């Protein structure tokens, strides 16, 4: 297994701009070259709505990780960084969790983080992050649009649309959540 996993089958993007954080994702679920679902919801609210999370990778694995993150957020209320670091420790060291194949973007009013099974808890410098097979396309589009007049939600929508033009594992059925940020 490679040190850097490659996830196919989705695009998740987050943008912070103008006091808003937006997290969006497409809805396509593919098995190999076959689309099995077009409207999956890969972005959801956690921690009583205080955190937005999006996932790329195996769906059951991502749900397991969301549940574990919820538990960590209950242990460390309003401390997303601490909860994410504790989850990353478990993810990397636990025999069962180590096998999970997913990546996550999580955001609250203060920070945005990318979490991986290799123990990474990364805070993007620009407040913009993308994961999944179309993540780099959406990330590039969002960075190009960030200095323009569009707000965070519009940047995410436009960037996901651009990614869908390029990545065959990304569609235009978008789930998007926003919240006020600091």
Host domain of residue 52? 11-168
The verdict on residue 2 lying in a domain is no
Residues that are catalytic: 10
Is 17 exposed, middle or buried, given 0-12, 13-18 or 19+ CB atoms closer than 10 A? buried
The verdict on residue 19 lying in a domain is yes
Cα–Cα distance list, 41 to 1, 19, 25, 79, 173 (Å): 28, 25, 8, 25, 9
Which CATH number fits the domain that encloses residue 62?
A: 3.60.20.10
The pTM score is 0.91
CA distance 1 to 87: 21
CA distance 36 to 97: 26
Q: What total number of domains does the chain contain?
A: 1
Report pLDDT digits (tens) over 83-125: 999 998 887 776 656 666 778 999 999 999 999 877 789 999 8
The verdict on residue 58 lying in a domain is yes
């Amino acid at each position: 297994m490679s040190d850097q996993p490659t996830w196919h089958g989705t695009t998740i993007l987050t943008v912070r701009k103008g006091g808003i954080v937006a997290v969006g994702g497409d809805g396509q679920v593919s098995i190999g070259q076959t689309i099995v679902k077009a409207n999956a919801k890969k972005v959801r609210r956690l921690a009583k709505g205080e955190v937005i999370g999006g996932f790329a990778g195996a769906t059951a694995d991502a749900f397991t990780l969301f549940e574990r993150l919820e538990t960590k957020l209950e242990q460390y209320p309003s401390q997303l960084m601490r909860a994410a670091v504790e989850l990353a420790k478990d993810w990397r060291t636990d025999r069962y969790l180590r096998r999970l194949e997913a990546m996550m973007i999580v955001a609250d009013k203060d920070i945005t983080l990318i979490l991986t099974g290799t123990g990474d808890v990364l805070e993007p410098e620009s407040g913009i992050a993308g994961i999944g097979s179309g993540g780099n396309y959406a990330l590039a589009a969002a960075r190009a649009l960030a200095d323009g007049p569009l707000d965070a939600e519009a940047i995410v929508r436009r960037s996901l649309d651009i990614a869908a033009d390029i990545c065959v594992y990304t569609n235009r059925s978008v789930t998007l959540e926003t919240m006020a940020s600091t």
